[in-house]
Amino acid sequence: MLTTTIISGLVLGGTYALIAMGLTLQYGIARIMNLSYGEMIIAAAFLAYVLFGQWGVNPVLGLLVAVPLGFAFGYLVYGLMLRPLVARAASRESLEIDSILVTFGLLFVIQGAMLVAFGSNYTSYNYLNVGIDVFGAVIAANRLVALGLAVVAGGALYLLFTYTLWGTALRAVAVSPRSAPLVGIDVNRAARFAFAIGCGLAAAGGVVISTYQTFTATAGVVFTMKALVVVIMGGVGNILGALSAGLILGLVETFVATYLDPGLTLAATYLIFLAVLLWRPAGLFGRSSR
């Protein structure tokens, strides 16, 4: 029982870490608070569902379709909708407000499109739904695949950001958007890339989630919320923070669902969120700037 709970918690936490990394890039580097993030996740989940159901494409291969599509979508959205807002914003606060409002509108557009296309029913498909024995606990194989994908994607991203010049440039924008141009970094390009990578990660998260969870066209809000909580827990723009905070949240939720009540997981998320806001507003691993 305990082993099962811990492993399913890690699986869930791995998924949260994956989607939260995308959001932390968007908010930390591109300075866009993207409220439609969860809808992008669900859109990718539907894409994986169609690919698997209609053409029998394995979700792991589906990632190769979904992630570039998500990246392209993010690139377009940033260029068409968000770039004009960045250009007219007088301060960071006004950009934050504008981006929240515009992405809130985008949330309804994407959600509406999904409702028209797929209806509001619970959707799922059967992929690798066989039990595998792990340390004496039986876990569905699709969950292990999901954990593996999250670890690979998250690890690759972490290495990319820590050890390449390109990743260092993006982190520099996150730390100090004003000084970055002084050393020859194109902040606009960095922001656009960060936003697009964030959407690519959302797509990856959506495909991973679709392999082991049921989802609906209106479930995006919950994913946005959880990703936001993880981002704030880990510290905005902090990839390693998002990774560990995601795992913590996944474990807490699974323990609450197993030992208390599955209906209380969101309440547990909120409790953690409140606690972090009150005690460590800069994130669990951040230095307080206030």
Partner 1 sequence: MTLKSFGSVLFFLVVLAALAFLPFYAGEYVVTLMIGMTGYVVLATAWALFSGPTRYISLATVAFFGIGAYTVSVLSETLPYVLVLLAAALVGLVVALVVGLATLRLAGVYFVIFSFGLAELVRQLVTWYEVNITGTLGRYIFLPVTSDGIYWQLLALAAATLLFSWAIGRSRLGLALKVIGDDEVVASHCGINIAGVKLALFSVSAVIITLVGAIQAPRWTYIEPSMVFNPTTSFLTLIMALLGGVDRLWGPLLGAIPLFLLFEWLSANFPNHYPIILGLIFIAIVFVLPNGVLAAAERIFSKRRGVTVPAANQGGAL
| Cβ at position 109, least distance to partner 1 in Å | 4
The greatest distance separating any two alpha carbons of the chain, rounded to the nearest whole angstrom, comes to 58
Residue 139 pairs in a beta bridge with: 132
E strand residue ranges, the chain: 131-134, 137-140
**140 versus 252: smaller Cβ distance to partner 1:** 252
Nearest approach, Cβ of residue 159 and partner 1 (Å) = 29
Burial environment of residue 77 by CB neighbours within 10 A (0 to 12, 13 to 18, 19 or more): buried
166 contact partners, CB below 8 Å, separation of at least 6? 160
CB of 61 to partner 1, least distance (A): 31
Tell me the C-alpha distance between 239 and 237, whole Å: 6
The identity of residue 140, as a single letter, is A
Identity at 100, one-letter amino acid code = I
| Residues of this chain that bind partner 1 (CB under 8 A) | 33, 35, 81, 84-85, 88-91, 93-94, 96-98, 100-102, 104-113, 115-116, 221-222, 224-225, 228, 232, 261, 263-264, 266-267, 270, 273-274, 277-278, 281
Comparing CB distances to partner 1, the nearer of 114 and 169 is: 114
Which residues on neighbouring strands pair with residue 131, listed in sequence order? 140
CB closer to partner 1, 4 vs 83: 83
Least separation in angstroms between residue 224's CB and partner 1 is 8
Return the number of other C-beta atoms located less than 10 Å from residue 95's C-beta: 20
Contact between 208 and 196 under an 8 Å Cβ cutoff? The reply is no
- Could you tell me the two tokens for 253? 């939720």
**Is residue 251 within 8 Å of residue 13, measured between CB atoms?**
yes
**Smaller CB distance to partner 1: residue 73 or 161?**
73
CB of 216 to partner 1, least distance (A): 12
Rounded to the nearest 5°, which phi and psi values hold at 33? Answer: -90, 100
Nearer to partner 1, 65 or 97 (CB): 97
* Nearest distance, CB of residue 63 and partner 1, angstroms: 27
Per-residue buried b or exposed e for 47-62, using 16+ beta carbons within 10 Å of the residue's own CB: bbbebbeeeeeebbeb
In the complex with partner 1, which residue's Cβ is closer, 48 or 102? Answer: 102
Cβ at position 277, least distance to partner 1 in Å: 6
CB of 82 to partner 1, least distance (A): 11
The nearer residue to partner 1, 130 or 278, going by C-beta atoms, is 278
CA distance 177 to 175: 7
Toward partner 1, which CB reaches closer, 138 or 264?
Answer: 264
